[in-house]
Structure 1
């Protein structure tokens, strides 16, 4: 349905992400330099097959990526980074004429890679697969030859959706999650009159000069979302919303979730199983959870795109996913698929991607190594840490339990810093076994740079932050991407994990 359009372009407008062309081509298949192993165990069954309410909460359940793993070596890197879901395109549908044979066996930006083997490899390796449904072939586009246009004939759209869901919800694939479109919206808060991926009348091919699409969301709900969602549900599968863009505004998103279509006499919300947004900080997810998930009707809150240029800050991903885990543990995380965020993108040539695809061989970038460090450090069953913590001057942080380990993620200024934890019993030998682990490299500090002592039921930890920190450009120099999620990362801060092993809860 992409009609051969290139969809991996990135541009920035007014300091914000503007155009994210979805789902880059499948990556090269080189061997990485390093094979970092974690405790991640991806079973033969994909995440989407696990039973509701019957799971051990793991950091890996929260981590996905745009694209497919590809070669076996790539799968091993996904395992090390904790990536348990992939997201990709499906098509090309009927690209040239409604008389074309329906083709839904290809993926990648140019539909030049075979989709079925990728999905079967994901299933074999315990990786969940999300298929993104879109867009409009040129012969059916309201805006001439525009793949992001509203369709003229809705039947052309539903034929494509039916073909995809019928094939891939059945054996041997058994997919249960399908995403409808991508970032459909109307006028954006940043000033664009039409959304990047949803065009209507008065779209002139230039996002800055096009006039507003007055019925953008009405047409999306009536012609795209509900018709597709009805097909998805008919095959006993789940509807993932198409990813509300960060520039669209949450209040605006809620307005359209609750919009009642006069064509169907139903709200869009009634046809959404997973609320989905793009590029928001974790704090913005809470209102969506409380309003639409805590008491229904939706099953969870996803972000099918995060990261991108924000990953120029090497603290972005480890802070985001640690924050997400802490928040999820306090937000009824009773299903392995309830909360998920997918990195855009896991490979490429920009230095901030998770990996560099080579040649000569695929290697981890800084952002990828930070995920390896997180998954190695918090590799047990997660639970909330209910006790009080007191951070000393120049340090802040959050905590969770990973198995029997207390893991505190701390952002601290150089020098000796401290944190006190009440409500845990000292070990028999009265000495805490503690570690200070670099959140970017995963390296442990010297034993002399961290010490834990008890005073009654309070553990006091002192640790030494290096003078050359790992934030924000990896050299000790600070840079801020402008994302609100980075507001607690002032200049020259170091991001690390203070780990207390085998804690005894009082």
Structure 2
């Protein structure tokens, strides 16, 4: 289902939030767990809170998610200041690895059991060394010679070895001991995929093990769908990984109102062509589902939470492609100024089209046998869900092809794009 692909960062805080998640097709949430032992090793281990400041109750959130069929991904991190190898820096490796292991064990032991029943745990966030994008150290993984002033910061030479030996493999062993799955900590988009491959395949000289063999789900952040293919071919198609996730997408990319509907439709078409045999095999999580910026999925209020354009676009996508998905391999002939991709949703053919204003055409091959079952054709605005007027749409059959003419409005919904385009769904409805 399309909804299997869609998650978000953060949690639904109420029954009303859950209903908005359902409307947008969001089926997963991601958040922190702690605070652990922030002030010293003699403290009681606490893993009942969530949020940036650990100011929200985690247990009620997870029970609500479980009852409503929403998956929960817990992010395991970071190092308490008293245990940081870079003094006071919570994004550095622990001095005492056993303290890290005790935190991980407390989390996974508690939340893999009823009533929570979690099976997916993420280790750290965006751990990397020198980034292909130019930064000498990653934002969330610091070592010696780190400085907040990028010009003064120097590379962390043992970044891979310390992460694999002190963070990843110790945590992954615990996660698997509880029969749960290891989600890699989200490779940053500035890191470079070749660099990511080196990290995954790095073999610790101390443990004589590769990190890759302790990863169930390859995870990246903010990449285009096409960038995922090399990871699929190398690590998922024939193993050892079970799937590919992106636990952060969106953010300021959502200033383009076409970004999310195009991303998830493309992601679905991509997944359907790559052995999508498990509903949890592929997943992308939006950062963030609520806030005050106009590009977030919702505006949190006051007075009441409302949908922004990006949130409404997900509602339209969920409603338009609401059935069980299937690949569509028949040829599409596109008129000048039209780009399109297609999939099957239940008995319907759904094409996502990006087109210039004016009359446009799409010809669909291989539908001759289904001609008698076609009941109607619709042209649906991808941002508002509004269907075009009957006079702005026409279909005919020629030589076994279905030819559809549709009128794109002069006021396209991607006016800020260069060049301006209209994003819509062309849907061929079939009788069951």
Using structure 2 for the length normalisation, give the TM-score.
Answer: 0.98
Aligned to 1:50: none
The yes-or-no answer on 1:494 pairing with 2:422 is yes
* 1:447, distance to aligned residue in structure 2 (A): 1.2
Contact 2:380 2:388 in 1 (8 A): yes
Contact 1:423 1:458 in 2 (8 A): yes
Quick one: which of 471, 474, 477 aligns to 2:416?
477
Quick one: which of 112, 123, 134 aligns to 2:55?
112
For structure 2, which runs of at least 5 residues remain unmatched after alignment? none
* 1:206, distance to aligned residue in structure 2 (A): 3.0
The one-character-per-residue Cα deviations of 1:166-208 (angstroms, maximum 9, x if unpaired) are: 1101111110000000000011122111100000101123344
* 1:70, distance to aligned residue in structure 2 (A): 1.2
The yes-or-no answer on 1:436 pairing with 2:364 is no
The yes-or-no answer on 1:378 pairing with 2:378 is no
Contact 1:392 1:419 in 2 (8 A): yes
Aligned to 2:279: 336
Using structure 1 for the length normalisation, give the TM-score.
Answer: 0.84
* 1:428, distance to aligned residue in structure 2 (A): 6.7
Contact 2:133 2:192 in 1 (8 A): no
Quick one: which of 242, 245, 251 aligns to 1:308?
251
- Measure the CA separation in 2 of the matches of 1:128 and 1:209: 42
The one-character-per-residue Cα deviations of 1:3-52 (angstroms, maximum 9, x if unpaired) are: xxxxxxxxxxxxxxxxxxxxxxxxxxxxxxxxxxxxxxxxxxxxxxxxxx
* 1:209, distance to aligned residue in structure 2 (A): 2.8
Contact 2:375 2:430 in 1 (8 A): no
Query: What is the 5 A alignment of 1:23-102?
Result: 58-102=1-45
Equivalent position SS for 1:324? helix
- Measure the CA separation in 2 of the matches of 1:321 and 1:431: 26
Q: Report the number of matched residues.
A: 432
Worse-superposed segment, 441-450 or 312-321: 441-450
- Measure the CA separation in 1 of the matches of 2:218 and 2:192: 14
Aligned to 2:211: 268
The one-character-per-residue Cα deviations of 1:476-497 (angstroms, maximum 9, x if unpaired) are: 233xxxxxxxxxxx41110000
* 1:144, distance to aligned residue in structure 2 (A): 1.5
Contact 1:307 1:317 in 2 (8 A): yes
**Normalized per residue, which structure has more helix?**
2
The one-character-per-residue Cα deviations of 1:104-157 (angstroms, maximum 9, x if unpaired) are: 000001101000000000000000000000001000011111111111111111
- Measure the CA separation in 2 of the matches of 1:491 and 1:392: 17
Equivalent position SS for 2:385? coil
Query: What is the 5 A alignment of 1:106-505?
Result: 106-425=49-368, 433-471=376-414, 476-478=415-417, 490-502=418-430
- Measure the CA separation in 1 of the matches of 2:269 and 2:394: 25
Question: Which structure carries more relative contact order (alpha carbon 8 Å, separation 6+)?
Answer: 1
The root-mean-square deviation of aligned C-alpha atoms, in Å, is: 1.3
- Measure the CA separation in 2 of the matches of 1:450 and 1:225: 55
Contact 2:34 2:48 in 1 (8 A): yes
Contact 2:373 2:431 in 1 (8 A): no
